[in-house]
Amino acid sequence: MPPTLRVLLIDDSSDDAALVVRALEQHYDVAWQRVASADALSGAIDHARCVRGEDAAVAAMRTGAHDYILKANLQRLPPSVERQLREAAARRERRRVEQRLVHLAYHDALTDLPNRALLQDRLTQAARVAHREGSSVALLVLDLNGFKGINDTLGHHAGDLLLQSVASRIRATVRDADTVARLGGDEFAVVLPLTDVEGALSTAQKVVHEIEQPCIVDHRPVNVRASLGIACFPEHASTADGLLQKADVAMYVAKSDATGMAVYSPNRDPKTHRRLSLISELRRGLDEAQFFVEYQPMLHLRSNVVVGVEALVRWNHPKQGRLLPGDFIDLAEQTGLINPLTTIVIETAIREWTPRQKKPPLTVAVNLSQRTLQDPRLPQRIASILDGYDAASASLALEITENVLMTDPARSLECLKRLHDMGVRLVIDDFGTGYSSLSYLRRLPVDELKIDRSFVANLMSGQDEVIVRSAIDLAHNLGLTVVAEGVESAEVQMQLQTMGCDVAQGTSISPPRRADEMAAWMGDQNLLGTM
C-alpha cells in the first residue's frame, strides 16, 4: 500500500494542477487540494504568489516548505517527495529519541514517576505561585518501613514490583495537579500545590491508608507500612531544598514515634535543637572561660630552630569534653561570637608566651576569621593587648586565609595595612585552596605564606609536588617566608628542605600542646636556638 501524500497545490491553472497530481498518483495515494485565490492562502504564501519561478519557491521554503520543483521539471517530483518522506521520518525518530532522553533525565526509570530534579523544579514553581497568591504548598515525603527486609527475603524483582505498585497507588490517590515523585530507594514525595497543613494531613491520611492496603506481589501477599513527613511553604521553609529537608526531619519523627505521619516541628528538629543549645553553650563557655589554647611549633628547617608557635583554640565543653575548632568556629562566626573568642585567644597567646621570650623572639600566630577582619576596632584592641603585656608587636603573627580577603577586600585590606604598620606579622594561611591571583597577593602587606596541608600530605606521592614547588618559588619571588603545614613524616620534612621551604609545622615535629608542655618540649629538644 503506497503512503498517502497530502498535497497543497498552489496554482491558478487547474490543468497544470491536474498534471502534477497525475505524476504523483503513479507512486502515491494522493489527497490533494488546490488553492487559486488570495483569500485561501496565508499572507506569506500570498506574497509568494506574486513572485514567479525560483523566487516564489524560495519564499515558500522560508515559510516552511522543504523542497520545490518547477512545473517544467515534473520528473524530479517523485524522487524529491521520496527524499522528503525519508527525511521527515528521520526527523520524527530524532525528535522521539530527544523527547525520550529529556523524559529519562526527569523521570525515574522503574516507576516512571518524576525524579528528584523534576520534583525540585515543580516544588519551586508551586512555591512561587503560592508566594504570589498568598497561599501555601505542602510537601509530603514518605518511605516504606522495612522495605530492605522485603527486598532481602523476596528478592529484588519483588522489591521492584512493590515499588511500582506503591507508586501507582500514590498516584491514584492524589489529584492530577499534584506531583508524585520517587526520590530514590523506597522514598517518595508528593507536592500538593495550594494546600495548607490541614489539607496536607487529610491527603497524607489517604496516601498512608492506600499504601497499607494488603497487596499481592509476585503471587505473594505483602503488607507494607509507611512513615510520612509533612512540611509546608511558607511556615516551615521557603525553598525547595529547605522543604525537602524539613519534610525529611518530620518523616524520621513519624518513624521513631511509629505514628505513621508527622508535621514538621522545630522542637523535634535535631539540627535546630543542637544548634540552639550550642549557641547558648558557646556564650556560657566564653563567660566561664571554657576555652583554652594549644600551641604547635614551627621549625626553621635550615637552622633547626623553633621560630614560632601557632595558637589553636580548643573548647573544654562541660558535657562533650575537648572540642576542636571544626566543631564550633563556624557557629561562632555565624553568631558574631567569633570576635570575643578571637580576643580571648590573642590575649591568652600573648600572656602565655611573652614571659617565655628569649632572643630572637618567637612569634605566636593566631588565626583570624573573616568577620574579625571586618571589625574596625581590631587593630586598636590588639595594640592595647600588646601594650598590656609589654609585648613587641613582631611577636604576634596573624593568619588569614585567601578567601577571607575576597569577601570585602577594601575593608579587609585597610585593616591589614594598619596591623602591618603596627609591626604585626601577617600570614596567608591554607595557601592554594583559595582563589587569589598573583597580582592580588602582591598588593597585600603580608610576610609569610603557609602552604595548605592537603598539598603537603600528597607531596611524597609526587601528586602535588609541582604545586608545592611553585608555591615556594612564588613566595620567594615576592620576598615572603614559606611555611609548610601538616608535615607528618621525616621524609616530607627532608623533601621540603631540599625544595627550599623555609619553615615546617606538623605532627612529625610536634602535635599542638599546652603552653607549659610546649615550652618543656622545646627545652628538651634544645630547639630554641639561644637557650
**Residue 367 in contact with Mg ion, rule: CB under 5 A:** yes
Distance CA 362, CA 38 (A): 97
**Residue 506 in contact with ligand C2E, rule: CB under 6 A:** yes
Among 325, 361, 409, 500, binds ligand C2E (CB under 6 A): 325
CB of 299 to ligand C2E, least distance (A): 12
CB of 320 to ligand C2E, least distance (A): 15
Distance CA 427, CA 401 (A): 8
DSSP conformation letters of 198-255: HHHHHHHHHHHHHHTS-EEETTEEE--EEEEEEEEETTT-SSHHHHHHHHHHHHHHHH
Among 324, 478, 490, 494, binds ligand C2E (CB under 6 A): 324
Q: Which helix (H) or strand (E) holds 521?
A: helix 515-525
Binding string to Mg ion for residues 483 to 502, with x set by CB under 5 A, is what?
--x-----------------
**Residue 137 in contact with ligand C2E, rule: CB under 6 A:** no
**Residue 234 in contact with ligand C2E, rule: CB under 6 A:** no
Among 115, 227, 363, 369, binds ligand C2E (CB under 6 A): 369
Regarding beta strands 220-222 and 215-217, do their DSSP bridges make them parallel or antiparallel, or are they unpaired?
A: antiparallel
Considering the complex, state which of residue 430 and residue 464 has its C-beta at the smaller distance from Mg ion. Answer: 430
Do the Cβ atoms of 142 and 188 come closer than 8 Å?
Answer: yes
Long-range contacts for 358-362 (Cβ within 8 Å, ≥24 apart)? Answer: 358/528, 358/529, 358/530, 358/531, 359/530, 360/307, 360/529, 360/530, 361/392, 361/394, 361/395, 362/306, 362/307, 362/308, 362/309, 362/395
Name the DSSP class of 195.
-
Distance CA 235, CA 136 (A): 8
Considering the complex, state which of residue 250 and residue 404 has its C-beta at the smaller distance from ligand C2E. Answer: 404
Window of 116-124, 274-282, 300-308, 360-368 that interacts with Mg ion by CB under 5 A: 360-368
Chosen from ligand C2E, Mg ion, none, partner binding at 512 (C-beta under 5 to 8 Å by type): ligand C2E
Distance CA 486, CA 22 (A): 88
Chosen from Mg ion, ligand C2E, none, partner binding at 402 (C-beta under 5 to 8 Å by type): none
CB of 518 to Mg ion, least distance (A): 16
Residues 89-118 that bind ligand C2E (CB under 6 A): none
Among 329, 331, 394, 460, binds ligand C2E (CB under 6 A): 329
**Residue 496 in contact with ligand C2E, rule: CB under 6 A:** no
Q: Which is nearest to 164 in space by CA: 112, 93, 229, 218? A: 112
Do the Cβ atoms of 252 and 165 come closer than 8 Å?
Answer: no
Rule CB under 6 A: which residues touch ligand C2E?
Answer: 296, 312-313, 324-326, 329, 338, 342, 345, 367-369, 399, 429-430, 453, 485-488, 506-507, 512
Residues engaged in binding Mg ion (CB under 5 A):
367, 399, 429-430, 485
